[in-house]
Each structure stands twice: as C-alpha cells, then as structure tokens.
Chains A and B, each alone.
Chain A
Amino acid sequence: MTTAGSAPSPATLSRSVEAFTQILGTGRVLTSPEDVIPYGFDGTAALKQRPFAVLLPTNTEDVAACVKICDQEGLVINARGAGTGLSGGSVPSAHGVVMCLTHMDRLLEFDPANLTIRVEAGMVTAAINEAVASKGLFYPPDPSSLKVSTIGGNVAENSGGLRGLKYGVTRNYVMGIKVVTAQGEITEFGNACVKDVAGYSMKDIFIGSEGTLGIITEIRLRLLPLPAARRTLLATFGTMKAAAETVSAIIAAQIIPCTLEFLDQMTLRCVEDFAKIGLPVDCAALLLMETDGPIETVAAEAKAMEAIALAHGASSVRTAKDEAESIELAKARRSAFAALARIRPTTILEDVTVPRSELAILVEFIAQTAERLKLQVGTFGHMGDGNLHPTFLTDERDEDEMKRVHQALDAIVGETLRLGGTITGEHGVGLAKKPWLKQQIGEGSYELMRQLKQTLDPKGLLNPGKIFD
C-alpha cells in the first residue's frame, strides 16, 4: 500500500489493472497514453495532469468493486462525468485512477405521477429534459454546459445555471442519491417522498462535495410542470452600472424573473462573432431578461421589467419575437465563456457572487481593477442571482501578465468578501478557488470541513487536493 499522492509501485499498478479488467472487462480499463491523456483536464484553463488509468464502469456495483481495489491498493480516485467543470474539480491527481461515469447514462425510472425521475449519474443533463418534456415536465437547473455535462457532475458540483434566480440550483431538485463510499460500500440517501427527516440529511453533504466524499452513481430528481408561457427581453445600456442598477431595482420591486443575464461589450462582441444572431454589439452592456409562468403574469412582469429598465437608463428594450428567438438568445448566452476564448490564448474565469444589492459596486470594481492592472476582461453572468463571471483574457505563457491576473483575482475576491459575497457561486472550489476558501469561511468552519472529509475518507483517496490540501 502507498500513501495518497506518492507513486504506486509498478507491481501495485499492474495488479490493479488486472483486477479492474476482471471487474469491467477489457476495453473499459484504459492505460495507454493516447487513451488517458484526453482525460487529463476539465474545462478549466491551464490545469492538466495525466492520470494513471481511466475506468469506464457501466453500473454501481462495478464502481464499488473498483473502489474497493483502490482502497486496498491505496490508489487515488478522481470521479468525473463529461469533464466540463470550471474549477479543476475533475482534473486527475498524479497517478490517479479516473472513474469516468459517462457510460452510466440510463434512465432508470420516470414517475410522472410523483413528478420525479431516477437516472444514472452519467446521463447528460439536457437528455433529462428531453425525456420528460412529453409529459409537460422539466428539470429547471440549466448550467451553460447542459448539453454536454452529466447530471452526476452537476450534483457533485451543485451546479447553477441561467434560471437559478427563480428556480434555484441543482441541490433544490435532488431528492435522493446512491453513493459509493471511499471504502467501496454502496449507500443510499433520500427517496421519492417530498418530506423526509429521518436522520441527518446526508444527501446534502454529498451534493457539491466535488467527488471528495463519495462517488454519486444514481440520482432521483424532482421535476416541475413546464410554465405555460415565457417571454425574453433584451435591454441595452450605455454603462454597466446602469444595467446592474436595473437588476437591483427589478429585485427590489419584488419581481422574480426566471433569468436576468448580463453581458458586457467584450463578451457581447465575442458571442456575436460566434452566434451571428444580430446582437447589439455597440452597447456597453446587455441584459437578457426572461419571465415565465402563467400567461397573464408573464405579460405583466415583462411590462414592469421594461419600464424599470427604461427608468434606469436603458437605451432600448426589445422583446424576442418568438420562442425560437428566445432559445437562440439563451443558446448564444451559454456560449459566452468559450466565445471569449477567441480573443486570447488563455481564459481565466471567475465565479464571484454577491448579495444582489451590491452588484453595481462589484461590476465597477472589476472594470477598475482590470484597467489598473492593464488586463483584458470580459464580464458576464447571472446578474439576477448576483453571480458574476469576470473572465480574464490572457496568455499562460506570459509570466508577468499571469502575475497581474492573480493580483486581480486576489483583489476581486477581497472586494467580494467585503461585500458579503462568496468566492464561488456555482463552479465549486476545486483547484482554482482553493487559495481563498479559508479567507471566506474562517478557520473554524474550514477545520470542520476537513474533519468531515477525514471521517468519510480517512485514507484521502477520493479526489485528494480538491477544495483543500
């Protein structure tokens, strides 16, 4: 046995590969460089690590059996889905065994009568919506990667999305999970009941645990009836501050639209360059506002939001002409992060979130910081829930510039925390946000988190080095 992180002996490795192969069959245990290099990263810039092996299990029992081998041999395990994470949460450890769950993508049980669905962790999030739409239902959380990312990854990261403002995040829809523990035991928490207070709410400990406490293999989700109507509005502004103030005013007026998305000019231009749908690229900021619900409510909310935007200095407010245009606009918005990569070789994405009343201050601060440090930044995000994605456009090969990027990140985190915010709204801590976690939550809370980890994974084999060292 070896301690986590140190190099396992060749004998350990070959014995493990043999054991994995016996469980999974040949073709589901990958070890050649060409096979494993493509699993060495997620969607986060400038982070990569070649794993030792990649496992492609097809059921929970096989996952558990493989984890038992790792537990015996002291091999570290990095669970992952589609690898679209944005904080390095699923970047492998050195000598790590990647447990890739994308081949576990079956729909296990669709129960429209109880408004629930049970699926394997590897199911692509968008596929869930496709499966339930025919019964007039939907699964609300919609991270930008929803056509690629898996529900297991979404649960492990507690992903948000464009609709978080009204519908909340992944956590609000998880009713139950099946988890393989660090010791390779299969456990289940939660059920199809709306109410359940039997013991600790263990499922909530695993949601957002980033693969450090257990491997989630099955999920039961809550579904909602599809809203009768929706309407999308586009408002343009001459300053970013005016857009931020509009958002604060809409919330203060007690309107909860389903999305309030913000794009600055840099982001707008990149997105338009990709999507070519005629976005107004000359404005300093664009708000994408969407309301859904009963027809009358939608009409009233749309009217009220338009009036508030105009009162706060919007230069124009336009309504999407139909459902097709609404979908096109949301799709374009989802491409924002990757579209920003057009400008420079490396894109460093932030995920800071503040109480909504403080948005205008943070937006200004980001712009000033970038200017002060002579950096290019594109800012977009879910303004309605106070979640911003300032994205630095840089080049990882330029040491001096990267140093300034880190200075900027430090400054933005400092200001965010001063405003009562969080270092990450929806991307998770992973590797990328690790330096700032203690600063946010304080020594005592940090230690309690470590104790929890120590209790559930005493050998430190599950996704070590993520969240904290």
Chain B
Amino acid sequence: MPKQLATMDYAVLQQCMHCGMCLPSCPTYDATKRERHSPRGRIALMRSIADEELEIGQGFADEMSYCLGCLACQTACPADVNYARLFEAARTDIEATQLPRPLSRGFWRGLTLRGLFRYPRVLRLFGRFLRFYQRSGTQAFLRRIGFMRLLPQNLRRLEPQSPAIGDAFSDALIQPVEVPAEPAQHRVLLLTGCMQDLLFSDINRATADVLLANNCEVHTPPIQPCCGSIHSHNGERELAQEMARRWLDLVKPADFDAIISNAGGCGSHLRHYSSLLGDDPAYAERAKVWDGKLRDIHEWLQHIGCRPPTSVATGAKIRVTYHDSCHLAHGQRVTAAPRNLLQMLPSVELVELPEANWCCGSAGVYSITQPQQAAELLDRKVAHIDSTGATVLATANPGCHLQLQNGLHAAGLPVTIAHPISLLAEAYARETSPSSL
C-alpha cells in the first residue's frame, strides 16, 4: 500500500490554514493545552511527513493513538478540513511502518481486525460462546475463584466491564423482508452492525418496527459483513476496502430508496465508500450510489416526515437527556433529528445535556488503548448527565452506550440508557397496547 499522506491530494492537507478555531473543540488539547495534541498540530505533523521533513516514528504513532478520532474538529472547522480522511491516512501509514510494538498488540489486532470483525459468522459464534460463558455460571465461578487475577493487567481491568451478550441476534428477531401494514412507500435496507447485533439486537428490532410504522418495506440480510469502520479507524485500509466490496457484492444499492444505519460510528464510515473504492473501476460507480443512499435512521425519519406517536402520556413525564455520538454529530452532522424525534414523544421531557457533543471516551477501542484519558472523559460526561436529573439517557451508538453504561454503573447513578429509536418504538407500541411500558 503506497504511503497515504505522501501520495494523497496535497490540497486536503493544505486545506488547514491553522487558524486555531478547532482548539477549544478538541478534548485532548483541552486536557493538555499542547499544540501537538490539537487538530491543527496533528495536521502540521502530517504535512511535515508529506513534505518529508519528518519521519514516521514512535512519537507520531503515539500522537495518532492519543487522538480520539472524535471529529469534533470537523464541526468546528470553518475551512471544511477533512480530518477523518487525514486521520485514517495517518493511521494507515503508521501501521505500514515497522515500529517496535509489543507482541500482544499484534495478537489482539489480528484476532479482532483480521478475525472476528471480518467474518460475521465467526463473530456470532464468538458471541454465542460469550453468552454461554456469561449465563452458564462459568463467569461467576471464575470470578469467585479469583481466576481473573491470572489475566494480563489490561484484560483484568476490562473484564468486569465486558458487556452482556443479547438474548438473540438480529437474524432471529428480524425477517429478511418485512412489509408494513399500509402499502409501502419506501424500500429500505437495514444494516444491523456488529456490536449492535451482538449486544443490542433489540435496537435493530426497534429500528425495523419504526421503519414499518412509517410505511417502509424493510430488507434485512440475515448475515451481514462488518462495514469496515473499525478497520479503517485503526489503519487497516485494505481490510476496510475488502469489507466495502463485500457489501457491494451482497446488495445493489440502486434497489433501495435508502440504506439505513442506526449506529453513529458505522454510519459515519458507511457514507464514504467512495473514498475507499473511488479508484477501483469495478466498484467506484456502485460505491457512489451507496454513499448517496446511506442515511442515519433519525435523518431518514425526519426526511420522510416521521409519524408522531398517537399514544398519550400516562403519569408524569420521563426526563430524558441526549448524548451525541461523535460520529453521528461530527461525522454525519446529524444533531437536530434525534432531538426532534425525542421531543415528539408524548411521555418524554427532553433536557439538553451540557457538552452533549463532547466525546465520552469510548471512541472505538480508545478506552482500551488510552484508558486514562478515556476515564477522564467518561467522568466528565457522567457528571454532566447527573447534573440534568434525567432518568433516561438517549444515545445512538453502541460504543457510547457501553461506555456510558459502565460509567453510570460505576457512579451508582440510576440512569438507564436507550437508543432514541427504541423509545420511539415503545411509544408506537403503546398505541395498540397502552399498558406496555
């Protein structure tokens, strides 16, 4: 793979005129007040690499690992710098450079990026194994006998946070094709994701329900490849290209009015298959059509005119606050639609979360690679959630969902987390059976 930074269109690097408007939006600059930990500082390093004034070394690798990739700088940038592109190019170049790294890093990267997140069947098998482990009493037994002390330090820290695998995966909950009661007005493809599928398949079911309630015919392939977001984000551009090609082999984007994602992190990546496959004549055209059809679920519902639920509020309203997933707010610029949707719910009182679009520290695998910074961001977020007095936190990305679940649990706050679409689905469900929650 050729050097990305050196060979990419230089104008992408030049686009940054280092005005500094991004600085207050960057969580790592905020934490350290050091220019290298700021968006324009990182871009300056990238430009130096492209100009061959700096070699890629451990310092640059550490810097790009410290960057959350939250893309808050993109929202702040008046000059429209494509930081996502630069970030992924930098990480790809770093992976292609022979730097001394611990062996375990290679093992975990291989297991996840080249294994689990590449083969959906293997991932589900792994999910089944985890589910058995968690529910058969094995986990409880191993915890009781202190087995966890034998794990490497990083794993030992993460083990108590390991998420509970859902009761069933999406293919057991959603038929390949589901048609609405009324004649369908739209034909959509529903993407069920990897984490969402393993941990929150109920959100996928809710998404299908909400689409049906809005007269969409929902197509949900039972076995779905990973979108490639995690690969691209971690500098594995070729694997990301492989995932994109698999999707374009599996479906014809032109067959649908929209391709729906309900996970902020996936959606942000899924909209840009052209930047992965633009140079591949066999796929470029199809990728372009795909990008044009890709919609976040909130955005799509707003676009088609989401039907307000007719159920009425019973009892006191529930106070809900909304946390923006970085890649939904900054990566996809979807901020108003989820809030409008929550405001539409009869039993919800929506209160704005302070710093709602500030990263929670989840950021893909950031909580594993940069535990300290991730923990500081999580504490800050949890304190803000606490200040709202909300009993429900709505958010639309499985990474945030998990991170915040752990944070709220550790802080002992009685706040439940729900995807906005799950709340909408519940409100629709109450139309026909008012007693259900």
Contact = CB atoms under 8 A, between A and B. Distances in A.
Interface in A325-355: 335-339, 341-342, 345-347
B176 interface: no
Nearest to A124: B24
A38 B36 contact: yes
B59 A346 contact: no
Contacts of B38: 38
A338 B36 contact: no
A40 interface: yes
Given A34-B60, A145-B20, A346-B14, A83 B35 contact: yes
Contacts, number: 100
A37 B33 CA distance: 15
A43 B33 contact: no
Interface residues of A, number: 42
A3 to B, nearest CB: 26
B80 A38 contact: no
Interface string A117-152: 000000010000000000000000000010111000
B45 A338 contact: no
B17 A341 contact: yes
A397 B33 CA distance: 32
A35 B24 contact: no
Interface string B63-80: 100000000000001111
Nearest to A39: B35
Contact of A82 (B15, B23, B59): B23
B254 interface: no
A102 interface: yes
B54 A33 contact: yes
Interface string B1-43: 0000000001100110111110110000000011110101110
Contacts of B18: 41-43, 83
A254 interface: no
Contacts of B54: 33-34, 37
Nearest to A54: B35
B21 A38 contact: no
B161 interface: no
Given A32-B59, A148-B24, A339-B79, A38 B41 contact: yes
Contacts of A34: 36, 45, 54, 57, 59-60, 63
Contacts of A336: 78
A103 interface: yes
B79 A35 contact: no
B78 A341 contact: yes
Contacts of A147: 21, 24
B15 A341 contact: yes
Interface in B358-373: none
Nearest to B16: A341
B48 interface: yes
Contacts of A50: 53
Contact of A335 (B21, B48, B59): B21
Contacts of B33: 102-103
Contacts of B42: 38
A125 to B, nearest CB: 12
A217 interface: no
B14 A40 contact: no
A110 interface: no
A40 B41 CA distance: 9
A82 B41 CA distance: 12
Interface string A28-57: 001011110111111101000010000010
A37 B45 contact: yes
A43 B18 CA distance: 5
B45 A145 contact: no
B78 A83 contact: no
B17 A338 contact: yes
Given A34-B59, A35-B36, A345-B14, A40 B44 contact: yes
B59 A345 contact: no
A147 B20 CA distance: 10
A395 B14 CA distance: 9
B195 to A, nearest CB: 31
Contacts of B14: 345-346, 395-396
Interface string B412-430: 0000000000000000000
Contacts of B45: 34, 37-38
Nearest to B43: A38
B320 to A, nearest CB: 23
B78 to A, nearest CB: 4
B21 A338 contact: yes
B19 A37 contact: no
A38 B15 contact: no
A32 B54 CA distance: 11
Contacts of A56: 34
Given A35-B36, A83-B35, A347 B63 contact: no
Given A38-B35, A38-B40, A145-B21, A338 B59 contact: no
B102 to A, nearest CB: 21
Interface string A378-403: 00000000000000000111000000
B344 to A, nearest CB: 22
A40 B60 CA distance: 16
17 contacts: A34-B57, A35-B34, A37-B44, A38-B42, A41-B44, A43-B18, A43-B19, A82-B23, A147-B24, A149-B20, A273-B80, A338-B79, A339-B78, A339-B79, A341-B80, A342-B78, A346-B17
Given A30-B34, A35-B34, A148-B20, 4 more contacts: A338-B17, A338-B19, A341-B15, A346-B17
Interface of A: 30, 32-35, 37-43, 45, 50, 56, 82-84, 102-103, 124, 145, 147-149, 270-271, 273-274, 335-339, 341-342, 345-347, 395-397
The 9 closest A-B pairs by CB, nearest first: A38-B41, A338-B78, A38-B35, A341-B79, A34-B59, A345-B14, A335-B78, A339-B78, A84-B20
